[in-house]
Structure 1
């Protein structure tokens, strides 16, 4: 991971973004120069013969002249300038955490680039290990390829393999997503909750995410994505969301499902799944979910159901997030006996016996931030523990890779980790995947939050 990969004589303005996405660290301008000497004018979307250009579609220094005066020497200079400009855009996208968004569009300029990107998507295990559990940036879903992104597939997998329903005795209320994130802040979802009066467990159906239980509405990428909304669902979107919903219902145990969803797309998905699972579905929307008639139908469908109290919802949220990030059953194991302090979304888990803070919910990413007391409870529990074993020193602010002896393979960038060594016990956030921590010879492995000397 700390060794640079160089690919010589291949990069052009059109393909370099995909090359970098594939893991190439160093490129040169050899191909751009050669193509220029051959009279081929390179751009981010293709290549043109100089003889076919009646104007120059660029404003770099080499192109500040009439097309008639532009020769092959100028073409070489332009090609190099275009490659350097594209590399600057790629570096900016990397810093912003949005290279994949750019690649999805850039790869469309030629069939082999699209094929290359899709081949990379098939290498899920390799790419997933190197994909952070959350980012600061927006995840843009503007093409069908977004459904195959690691962030999307990982969320769907964890919801259907780790998430545990804890609000027992209540029906499931399926609602559509909203443009505003998190969903509970949107006007439509407030209307749904007013009608439901917290008498059902709410989960949102959305493309490209799939199914989002309300406890995980803050968890990346559930509140960090934007998608193209046309009111029409593609066949691939329907298949993906239906598959996730089916797996979700097979894992959970609801007495019934109330589908308060629009007729377009959403209802088709629900009807498809209803025929495959042993849970009765009720539909409460005739035309639009927020009309008085539809909200009245929703209220009537929940008549007689008990209310879910706020303390139940908040405790379930902390445990669900622990399941999502730490592993199946982690919420009950680590937070077996807790009191919840604060108001959603700024929740804290306190030890019910000692009152010590164990962890806090991070609203920006829907992740957990552990204290030393919480880290000790995590280690002592039956939950899978993400461990970083270090040498005999006391870390100050960070752990660098040379100081790491071993690390759990399932650690991803952004994960909470427990740091243990002969001289220290600490907790922090991973800045490298676990395998890279063990192998790398340079770089920050963990950003330490709390540390105590042994």
Structure 2
């Protein structure tokens, strides 16, 4: 699936459904280090491939990074390849309105909590930090985050912070994506501590040598295998209930008895018959529509019990 670009040109973008949903779900995520580095967004997506972030990351690896961006508010580094944050177009001048400063500042404050902050920002990005954060070290003193002076300040500041290894925050990153996608902290159960990954582009998620999901390069989101369906069933996440044996890879709405109300279109769901997982796939409708609709495809089934 090719993700369409999301134009975010005016302040009205702050109220787009994708933006509101993103901000709400960011409340489920938490930093993995006691010090958080705040960085400005870039025009290029994902941010880490931009020239500016390539420079920043020479010093910030091993610390939780969070990118300030309008209209989405914040983007923790591990979420930068996830739809829709990897597919929006917006100005990156840092010349923000009061409403943009307020929205991003509140998101940042909720995410950071009482942790220490190293803010490598200027302009509207800095205004958001100054208004909503307390325990902050500012490393950009000349208005240019890419200047030698600013980068040297960043280097000095991060040296004083306790970093963690790549292996230790890998699980945190995968769990953050799961929390965002399934809109619950219970999604951590999909990514236990012994999770392994395989693959360079589409990443296979393995637990005890069994593949439970795939993290897709294009969307930055998971598609599920049947073992993950068992976890969703136990945790009561995105369930669709039927009372017949599946005969094809398409589940039509007349055959659906019930579904969790919080399901939205394109969500990964588990199909349950007589308290047994019989399939996993992608919903085409909301949970309410799955139950109330009298015609149409409800779930496109990816895997099912043979």
Do residues 284 (structure 1) and 284 (structure 2) align?
no
Matched-pair contact (CA < 8 Å) for 1:163–1:328: no
Matched-pair contact (CA < 8 Å) for 1:285–1:294: yes
Aligned to 2:167: 311
Q: Secondary structure at the match of 2:26?
A: helix
Q: What CA deviation, in whole Å up to 9, does each residue of 1:209-254 have, x standing for no partner?
A: 101111111222110100134442111111111121122223xx52
Aligned to 1:171: 35
Q: What CA deviation, in whole Å up to 9, does each residue of 1:265-292 have, x standing for no partner?
A: 11111000124xxxx1000012211112
Do residues 239 (structure 1) and 94 (structure 2) align?
no
Aligned to 1:430: 283
Q: What CA deviation, in whole Å up to 9, does each residue of 1:195-218 have, x standing for no partner?
A: 22x131101000011011111112
Aligned to 1:91: none
Aligned to 2:17: 150
Aligned to 2:133: 274
- Cα–Cα, structure 1 residues 199 and 224, in superposed 2: closer, same or farther, change >3 Å? same
Do residues 139 (structure 1) and 6 (structure 2) align?
yes
Shift of residue 259, structure 1, vs aligned partner: 0.2
Q: What CA deviation, in whole Å up to 9, does each residue of 1:177-196 have, x standing for no partner?
A: 01111111112111111022
CA distance in 2, matches of 1:261, 1:191: 14
CA distance in 1, matches of 2:112, 2:96: 22
More strand by share: 2
Q: Secondary structure at the match of 1:338?
A: coil
Aligned to 1:449: 302
Paired residues for 1:198-347 under 5 Å:
198-250=61-113, 254=115, 256-262=116-122, 264-275=123-134, 280-287=135-142, 288-342=144-198, 346-347=202-203
CA distance in 2, matches of 1:448, 1:418: 9
Matched-pair contact (CA < 8 Å) for 1:393–1:424: no
Runs of 5+ in structure 2 lacking a partner? none
Paired residues for 1:9-408 under 5 Å:
136-160=3-27, 162-165=28-31, 167-168=32-33, 170-196=34-60, 198-250=61-113, 254=115, 256-262=116-122, 264-275=123-134, 280-287=135-142, 288-342=144-198, 346-351=202-207, 354-380=208-234, 383-408=235-260
CA distance in 1, matches of 2:154, 2:199: 27
Q: Which runs of 4+ in 1 moved over 6 A?
A: none
Do residues 413 (structure 1) and 253 (structure 2) align?
no
Matched-pair contact (CA < 8 Å) for 1:203–1:213: yes
Matched-pair contact (CA < 8 Å) for 1:318–1:349: no
- Cα–Cα, structure 1 residues 152 and 290, in superposed 2: closer, same or farther, change >3 Å? same
Q: Which structure carries more relative contact order (alpha carbon 8 Å, separation 6+)? A: 2
Q: RMSD value over aligned CA atoms?
A: 2.0
Runs of 5+ in structure 1 lacking a partner? 1-133
Shift of residue 344, structure 1, vs aligned partner: 6.4
Q: What CA deviation, in whole Å up to 9, does each residue of 1:140-179 have, x standing for no partner?
A: 011111101111011011102x1133x24x4100000011
Shift of residue 406, structure 1, vs aligned partner: 0.8
More helix by share: 1
Shift of residue 306, structure 1, vs aligned partner: 4.1
CA distance in 1, matches of 2:304, 2:289: 22
Q: Secondary structure at the match of 2:150?
A: helix
- Cα–Cα, structure 1 residues 412 and 135, in superposed 2: closer, same or farther, change >3 Å? farther
Higher gyration radius (CA): 1
